[in-house]
Amino acid sequence: MDPDFEALAKKSFVKLPPPPEWVAAEAAGVWTADELKAAFARATDTPPAVNHVRSEFLLPGAEWVRGYRAWFSKLERPLKLRFEGDQWDCDNYASCFVTFADLLALRAGENRGTLAVGWATVFYRHPFAGIEAGGAHAVVVVATSEGLFVIEPQDGTMTRLESFPNRDTIEAVYF
């Protein structure tokens, strides 16, 4: 397929605020897919299906993830994000969080592997971060230098997987 660059020629650029600096040395750890699955199995007796393409994952530094989470919360206005049925819902928020983390790593020239930042579908038996119990939801899952965390991308709440009240009903994770 030949890209149609002419169709883009008149388009402007979207400017996003300066992101947290990617420090390659802080993302020094690597987990295999098996290690990732084992980490889920330690936190719950009903570990989710983990979908992935690559067999190794680069762990971002936990501090970077905290900074990134704060940066992501500033994107809502420039990107004009709003909840809109299937068009933009919880899985879009989660996927968007993962996508921009990937982009920042690419932009920094990070080429050692796939970031261990994915998104997950979860059945909510318990309310968490403003999301009520009784329905399906999507969140972000991040394996960092300090272990596995769950992030609610719509408000930035971040908790260890072991403390996530719906850890037993995570259905699938996508990296």
Partner 1 sequence: MWRLLPILLVGLLLPARSAPGAEAVEKEKGKAAERQVLLPAFPAPPLAMDGRAPKRISSLRLLRELQRGGVRGWGKFDATDGDYALFRGDSLAVLGAWLETACKALDYDLTGARGRHYDGAVFSRLLNVATSIASLREDAINLAMPIGVLSCRRAEEWGELPGDGKDDAYVIFATDAGVLVYDPPTRQIIALGDFPNRDHVIKVWF
- Tell me which residues touch partner 1 (CB under 8 A): 1-5, 7-8, 11-19, 21, 51-55, 79-82, 84-89, 91-92, 95-96, 98-99, 102-104, 106-107, 109, 111-114, 121, 138, 172, 174-175
CA distances for 114 relative to 45, 103, 126, 128, angstroms: 27, 11, 31, 28
Phi-psi region of 10 (alpha: psi -120 to 50; beta: other; left: phi over 0): alpha
C-alpha to C-alpha distance for 173 and 141, rounded to whole angstroms: 8
Query: Reduced to 3 states, what is the DSSP secondary structure of residue 57?
Result: strand
CB of residue 167 to partner 1, shortest distance in Å: 19
Question: Nearer to partner 1 by C-beta: 45 or 87?
Answer: 87
CB of residue 112 to partner 1, shortest distance in Å: 7
Question: Nearer to partner 1 by C-beta: 2 or 45?
Answer: 2
Question: Nearer to partner 1 by C-beta: 46 or 51?
Answer: 51
> Which amino acid type is present at position 153?
P
CB of residue 44 to partner 1, shortest distance in Å: 19
Backbone angles phi, psi at 55, to 5 degrees: -95, -5
Question: Nearer to partner 1 by C-beta: 42 or 49?
Answer: 49
